[in-house]
Chains A and B, each alone.
Chain A
Amino acid sequence: MLVLLHRLSSVLRRLRGWILAGGTVIVMAGCATNAAQDTWKPKGANATKIDNLQKPVFAAAGVVGIIVFAAVIYCVVKFRDRGQPIPRQTHGNPALEITLTIIPALILTVVGVFTVRTVFDLAKTSDTEMIINVTGQQWWWEYDYPVQEQYGITQPIVTSGQLVIPVGTKVLLRETSRDVIHSFWIPALNGKRDAVPGRIQTNRIEADQPGIYAGQCTEFCGLSHANMRMEAVALSKEDFAKWVANQQSEYVAPADGTLAKEGEAVFLSQCVRCHQVNGLTRADGSPAIATADENVWAGVAPNLTHLMSRNTFAGAMFDLSTPECRKDVWESDSATFGPKYLAGVTEECLNQTALRNWLRNAPAVKPMYTNPALLSATDGKYRGMPYLGLSESDIEKLVAYLLTRQ
């Protein structure tokens, strides 16, 4: 075995140069194109500020690294034992040492000045133009828009799944959490900021162009941390006004006798225990208020009033539209993006499989704490959506009803 190893190593030694050169090229050319969460592709003012700061730092670090590598390689080649006498036992050279201490210190001072400036620049909130409250929960985000008349928001809007913002507007996110610490991160718009229970932490985002920007919860938050995704949708100001108007539209009950009407009944008997649909009333005319606080540990489940106005569900884990329709929206240019997005998810585009699988047995497709036998720590309350035991016909009806939630 040793002989074999030896022979292999001599081959490797001959090819060493090629391997090194090849490796460098691979690393240089080795980046994915169009990675959804690329941190080096800023699409908004805040992320650009970070990018302008980090690129020179990476470059400087690269240069320093190359100098160190070169020095080590030089030493290794030049000073290898060729039978030269034992060198003089020099103990150092203080002048050289001090110089080589001061140089990196100077480089870092320059970096430090720019860093501090950017830190305070990014923390500025005084010129905020719009406020959105962002609340994290295992394992999805809720977005609520406080009353802001200048944007046509006359009553609080509550959504989840996709954070919709107007383009070119300095939006302040007030983040908090209902259970454990989460972290809100849309790399194209800004760095991340933790959502800590009991605290309101602010983070500013601003998008230059209409489009969808992907993100992901980045503070480990338990079982389905990997499935807690988010998307920010930037719309032109006119489109945003339309979106606001739609979110505030009156509840229209499905026509009597339709499948959707039967779905409404199923919703009232099952879903409303946790999920709110604004304006929905019970048979006796009283408003149907969700009682998530009695069934879910964190006390809230996503508001489904306008479910079909967003492309994702279950904490942005699943696409609500089929892959083709999704691609159509994501890849449209900024001029056509708005209308396509505002069209919502239509019956043709609905990702029936994903939605039905979810309704059939949610914990089977997304890990959650919903096994009734293991809920003594939470007084029997769920963390996530439990298995509901819906019949296929109930699922059929519910899908029909949900499709009316445009």
Chain B
Amino acid sequence: MFTTGSKYFLGLSVLAGVAFAVSMFFANPSALGATALIGLIGALALLAGVILFARDGDVGSGEVTASSNRPAPKSMWPLVTAGGAALLLIGTITQPVFFLFGIVVLVAAFVEWMVLSWSESASSDDEFNAGVRKRLLNPIEFPVLGAVGLGLLIFSFSRVMLAVDSRFGVALFIIIGALLIVGGVLFAMRPTLKQGLVTAICALAAIAIVGAGVSAAQTGMRSELVAARYESDHEVQRECGATATDYGDSGVTQTISSVSGVNATVEFVDGELLAHVQGMTGMQRAITIPRSSPSNIIFRNFDSGRFRLVAHLGSRQVTEGVVEEVVACTQLIKSGAEQLLTLSIPKSSAANGPYSLSIAGVDDQSIDLVVP
């Protein structure tokens, strides 16, 4: 069953596989080496496979009478090849992405064309020839087309989910998921359903998703995601003043979920700043935070107006002679809202303090932060 040529290439690919295993397990694994060796394995195995399928050129069982003077059957590959070449050329003068697409189309077209013409001369039986082509190419065509198709659907759907309102997005996800299940169940319960109908429904659904994805991509992401993108760039420069900043105070988180066991809850009520400390009864004016330990403090704004909680954490020397105040703060949150502030303070308040919590723009209220 194994021909001489195929044995050679199979042996080489196994050798490459062994080399790969050795390099990954025993030598220093490197991404570059892995890529090279995997490429080698793939290429050699492909050659071996091609030769095996082609029986080293020995097609069929002897009674091969491929007629060379039959009229050539219809083929779309010349057209596709031309299209690929055109794309390639367009790519050189416009976008590199067209160039890449052109290469992919060309490679695909060459492979298909080559195998097609090889199979056409396999025997005089057209049906058999088609079978030979399928047997060789279907295992490649199906996974590639499947992956591309699925990828397109997933990508389109992700564009839709990024564009729509987040709450609507949840609903959409549930609805589409439910539709898929219902559709699947219906098809499964009616196996007699015409295949064409099923295909049509699936194709329509796919087109709808891709269409929605295209239009969603043109609309762009929903506003808070756009803002978040800018915000993360400006996070480091967040200012802790009383007025709202452009980015730092956009897309404010107004509620906290799933946080318990916080060190303290700081409330701003009627112009007064008080803390409820875990384990203590009554309201406190001082909070103890362990050194170097990330500690959670919840800020609740019960006053009218938007406020932020600011932690004053001493100062640090930036360069010789330049000293900078260290602050951390929440965003400006509206009345009735709450936000989490996570502090980790490396030096004790005796060494670097005093530390305190206050409300930006309110001078007479503060809570002592004691770091022992």
Contact = CB atoms under 8 A, between A and B. Distances in A.
> Do A and B touch directly, given a CB cutoff of 8 Å in the complex?
yes
Interface of A: 125-126, 128, 131, 133, 135, 142, 144, 146-147, 155-158, 172, 174, 176-178, 196-202, 276, 278, 287, 289, 292-293, 298-300
Interface string B344-356: 1011101110000
21 contacts: A131-B279, A131-B280, A142-B290, A144-B288, A146-B286, A146-B288, A147-B286, A156-B288, A156-B370, A176-B295, A178-B292, A178-B293, A198-B261, A199-B262, A199-B296, A202-B278, A289-B347, A289-B352, A292-B292, A293-B346, A299-B291
Contacts of B146: none
Contacts of B293: 135, 176-178, 197, 299
Nearest to A135: B290
A174 B291 CA distance: 14
A289 B290 CA distance: 16
Interface in B251-290: 260-263, 278-281, 286, 288, 290
Contacts of B342: 198
B372 interface: yes
Contact of A198 (B281, B286, B296, B351): B296
A197 B261 CA distance: 10
A177 B296 CA distance: 12
User: Nearest 6 pairs between A and B by C-beta?
Assistant: A299-B292, A199-B261, A293-B346, A156-B372, A144-B372, A202-B279
Nearest to B288: A146
Contacts of A147: 286, 370
A144 B291 CA distance: 10
Nearest to A158: B372
A300 B279 contact: no
A198 B370 contact: no
Most buried by B among A131, A196, A198: A198
Contacts, number: 82
Interface string B334-370: 0000000010101110111000000000000000001
By size class, the interface of chain B is: 20 to 34
Interface in B58-106: none
Contacts of A177: 293
A32 B214 CA distance: 75
B347 A293 contact: yes
A200 B346 contact: no
Nearest to B260: A199
Interface of B: 260-263, 278-281, 286, 288, 290-296, 342, 344, 346-348, 350-352, 370, 372
Given A199-B260, A200-B262, A293-B347, A126 B292 contact: no
Contacts of A287: 351
A397 to B, nearest CB: 26
Contact of B292 (A156, A174, A199, A293): A293
Contacts of A198: 261, 294-296, 342
Contact of A197 (B294, B346, B347, B348): B294
Among B278, B293, B348, B350, the most chain A Cβ lie within 10 Å of the Cβ of: B293
A133 B288 contact: yes
Contacts of B288: 133, 144, 146, 156
Contacts of B296: 198-199
Contacts of B344: 299
Contacts of B262: 199-200
A177 B291 CA distance: 10
Contacts of A300: 291-292
Contacts of B261: 196, 198-201
Contacts of A131: 279-280
A155 B346 CA distance: 19
A131 B278 CA distance: 11
Contact of A125 (B279, B290, B346): B279
Contacts of A157: 372
A174 B370 CA distance: 15
Contacts of A125: 279-281
A297 to B, nearest CB: 9
Given A156-B288, A178-B292, A293-B347, 10 more contacts: A128-B280, A128-B281, A144-B288, A144-B290, A155-B350, A174-B279, A176-B290, A202-B278, A293-B292, A293-B346
A46 B293 CA distance: 28
B107 to A, nearest CB: 42
A196 B296 CA distance: 12
A329 to B, nearest CB: 27
A146 B263 CA distance: 14
B295 to A, nearest CB: 7
Contacts of B295: 176, 198, 200
A156 B289 CA distance: 11
Contacts of A133: 288, 290, 372
A199 B290 CA distance: 11
A276 B261 CA distance: 29
A233 to B, nearest CB: 19
Contacts of B291: 299-300
Contacts of A176: 263, 290, 293, 295
A276 B370 CA distance: 17
Contacts of B281: 125-126, 128
Nearest to B294: A198
Nearest to B281: A126
Nearest to B344: A299
A154 B350 CA distance: 13
A278 B351 CA distance: 10
A80 B274 CA distance: 76
A289 B351 contact: yes
B326 to A, nearest CB: 13
Contacts of B348: 276, 289
Contacts of A174: 278-279
B265 to A, nearest CB: 11
Given A144-B372, A158-B372, A199-B261, A172 B279 contact: yes
B351 A200 contact: no
Nearest to A203: B279
Contacts of A142: 290
Contacts of B352: 289
